[in-house]
Amino acid sequence: MTTKRRSSRWSGAVACIATASLLAACTPEDPVPTTAPPTQTTRPTPSATPSVDPAVAEAEAAILQAYQGYWAAKVASFANPAQPQDPNLAHFAIDTALAEAQSTLFSMHSNGIAFVGAPQLSPVVSNIELGEESTAEINDCVDVTDWQPVYTATGDSAAAPDQALRVPTESTAHFYDGRWTIRTSVVHRDATC
């Protein structure tokens, strides 16, 4: 019986050596070879989607809501500059964004101009920094095709000649007084997007 066992082990060792060139692995007790993974080229597997921090996702949603609210208040205010500004303008905008919107309203009222219609927005939030001074950036391509200035007395266009109808806009958001607000908003009227 011991001779048969030795013979069986010797046969297993020979089988193992013979298959080693095929990148197989085996032991004298287990003569079944295990093949290596195939080396042929396959399509890469898409990487897993990185998980999004819930706090960042929540902040992004609140920033977009503030940005949309800021624009809605501007549209409402610019539709009739002779009336007091929409109260939401001061809720959603602070610092430079609020001051510039109010200055524009004053100038529009002085020149008898109002905006009709509404712009189309496509904001993208980036560089969200959460902490003691929470901030973010918003890039947009504002389409003003259906939001144009007119002279209130005549209804004639008050738009500048050759004004681009899709303009890049860069804004910053700031967490202030328990809410996200728009701090700056710069429209690049000399460019298009």
Residue 52's pLDDT is 77
Coil, strand or helix at 57: helix
Mean pLDDT, the chain, integer: 81
Task: Assign 80 a pLDDT band (cuts: 50, 70, 90).
Answer: very high
CA neighbor of 141 nearest in space, from 156, 119, 159, 157: 119
CB 33 within 8 A of CB 22: yes
Parse the chain into domains and list their residue ranges.
1-42, 54-187
Tell me how far apart the alpha carbons of residues 182 and 90 are, in angstroms, rounded to a whole number: 10
Helix segments in 80-113, DSSP class H: 87-92, 95-111
pLDDT of residue 51: 63
pTM comes to 0.73
Distances in Å between the Cα of 168 and the Cα atoms of 61, 141, 191, 192 are: 21, 5, 7, 6
Mean pLDDT score, 54-66: 96
Residue 191 phi/psi, 5-degree rounding, is: -130, 170
Amino acid symbol at 152: T
pLDDT over threshold 70, residue 99: yes
What is the pLDDT, as a whole number, of residue 128?
97
Query: pLDDT exceeding 90 applies to what percent of the chain?
Result: 69
In the predicted model, is pLDDT for residue 64 greater than 80? yes
Domain boundaries 54-187, corresponding CATH code: 3.10.450
Report how far apart the first and last C-alpha atoms of the chain are (Å, whole number).
87
Give the C-alpha separation, 31 to 68, whole Å. 70
